[in-house]
């Protein structure tokens, strides 16, 4: 069962980053399915960490291209990445230490931050990168 689906409206026009976003959605869905199937805490932590690491990888790739092409919103976008990473890390630490359970509130948070970030922030760089010949 898919908790979150890729839609064409999420297309930022840069195939590499679209693929990254699809992978992030896949990881959120894997975490959701593991929770739904009452998998072990260790497996949930493993998938959660994979989601965090892939998020960092994705953000780093975006930021590298932003620097390379002198993206004017780089500083603000990087700050957004840092805030999102911190929030996800805090959610993981809360889960790991038993302060919060993996539940619908967590998945709603993950879905909303990814969707909102793509639609509000990443769409902006998509147009900029395409104007520089990056697809």
Decide if pLDDT at 45 tops 90: yes
Q: 30: domain range? A: 11-131
Each residue of 81-119: pLDDT tens digit?
A: 999 999 999 989 988 888 877 777 888 999 999 999 999
- Domain assignment of residue 76, yes or no: yes
Residues whose CB falls within 8 Å of the CB of residue 8, separated by 6 or more in sequence, listed in order: none
Averaged pLDDT score across all residues of the chain: 93
- Identify the CATH number of the domain in which residue 49 sits: 1.20.120.50
Residue from 22, 88, 92, 101 nearest 58 by CA: 22
Number of domains, the chain: 1
Report residue 39's pLDDT band, with 50, 70 and 90 as the boundaries: very high
Decide if pLDDT at 1 tops 90: no
pTM of the model: 0.93
């Amino acid at each position: 069962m898919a908790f979150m689906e890729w839609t064409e409206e999420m297309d930022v026009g840069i195939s590499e980053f679209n693929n990254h976003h699809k992978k992030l959605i896949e990881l959120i869905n894997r975490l959701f399915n593991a929770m739904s199937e009452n998998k072990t805490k260790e497996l949930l932590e493993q998938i959660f960490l994979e989601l965090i690491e892939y998020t960092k990888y994705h953000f780093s790739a975006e930021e590298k291209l932003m620097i390379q092409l002198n993206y004017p919103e780089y500083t603000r976008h990087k700050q957004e990445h840092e805030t999102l990473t911190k929030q996800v890390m805090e959610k993981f630490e809360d889960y790991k230490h038993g302060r919060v359970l993996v539940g619908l509130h967590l998945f709603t948070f993950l879905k909303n931050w990814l969707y909102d970030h793509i639609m509000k922030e990443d769409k902006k760089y998509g147009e900029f990168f395409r104007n520089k010949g990056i697809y």
